[in-house]
Amino acid sequence: MSEEQQKGHVDVKVQPPQPQSDVSSSEGENSDANNDAKDNNVLDDFSDNETDIELMHSRLVDMDNLDFSRFKSATFLGLRQNLIKKITNLEPLTSLTELDMYDNRLNAIEGLDTLTNLIYLDLSFNKIKTIDNIGHLVNLKDLFFVSNKISVIENLSTLVNIRNLELGSNRLRKIENLDSLVNLEELYLGKNKIRKLEGLSNLKKLRLLSIQSNRIVKIEGLDKLENLEELYLSHNGVLKIEGLENNHKLNTLDITSNRLTKLENVSHLENLEELWLSGNELSSFEDLKEQCSGLSNLQTVYLEGNPVQTSNRQEYKKLVKEAIPHIKQIDADMVEPIRLI
């Protein structure tokens, strides 16, 4: 409290009230004008022949005032981490091959009609509910929909050139409508509500399948995926290692935090380098020796959180090394392989 207030001698000057409508109208017009000017200004520093237009974290609320008509040579447009709710004004960018709109507020896929040269499209971390309006983007190779609100895999049948498809952290319950994606090499489906491995048989070029944090209880439906090299199944409810008879090219197998009680059916995976089995109910070093001692390429094994580790803390690593003499890493620790004479 000021000295004047304490003495009770404060002079109060009352300003005549202004009409509310005039104030709000004036503020609104100024705000719109400022936004328009700002949106236009973000493109001022780019030359007409610019190939990469990066507008990441530019506080853009919409695209209506962005004039891209002079950028005939642009091949990349980055709009990450803005507040954009709708895709507009991209019609002039017919040479664009990469569009990144990660982390905005998009509710729908639209405004891409003229971007037929796109090979990379990232719409991750938005609010998209439906995959549509991209069937004409037949040159796409990398497509990202991570962390949206998508409940059905659909409308991808014409995108036969896609190599990498990311649909993690959505609301999917079923693997479906992927049969035409015959060139797909990497598929990410983690953090959904998928209960069954299915709908994958046509994906014969698939090298990587990531489906962690779903509701899978059985390894199945992978017999046609003979080129599969990496399989990530952590944080599911898998009860048994099975269904990998034809997956001889696997070099990484992750079944961390499932419900396994026995290590089995991996001894034929001669190319296996990484085996991650932490957080299960494995208790037998004999099984470990039987299944893994003959895997000459195996370098890393994770077993922490299993009874083999929790019940044998003092000798655990020694016993693992005895079971797999050539192992180089046990959990997070590098170890010296045992030289057999």
Model confidence over 19-43: pLDDT tens digits?
A: 443 434 444 444 444 454 455 589 9
The residue ranges of the chain whose pLDDT is under 50 are 1-34, 36-37
Per the document, the length of the chain is 341
**CA end-to-end span of the chain:** 88
Q: What pLDDT, on a 0 to 100 scale, did the predictor assign at position 18?
A: 44
Q: What pLDDT, on a 0 to 100 scale, did the predictor assign at position 338?
A: 80
Q: What pLDDT, on a 0 to 100 scale, did the predictor assign at position 258?
A: 98
DSSP state letter for 82 = S
Q: What pLDDT, on a 0 to 100 scale, did the predictor assign at position 292?
A: 98
The pLDDT tens digits of the residues spanning 323-336 come to 999 999 999 999 99
Q: What pLDDT, on a 0 to 100 scale, did the predictor assign at position 140?
A: 98
| Amino acid letter for position 7 | K
| Contact yes or no for 296/271 (Cβ under 8 A) | no
Of 262, 265, 250, the residue nearest 307 (C-alpha): 262
How far is the CA of 269 from the CAs of 114, 234, 246, 273, 279, in angstroms?
47, 19, 9, 9, 22
Distance CA 215, CA 100 (A): 31
Helix, strand, coil percentages (3-state) for the chain, rounded to 5, are 15, 10, 75
Q: What pLDDT, on a 0 to 100 scale, did the predictor assign at position 40?
A: 57
Q: What pLDDT, on a 0 to 100 scale, did the predictor assign at position 39?
A: 57
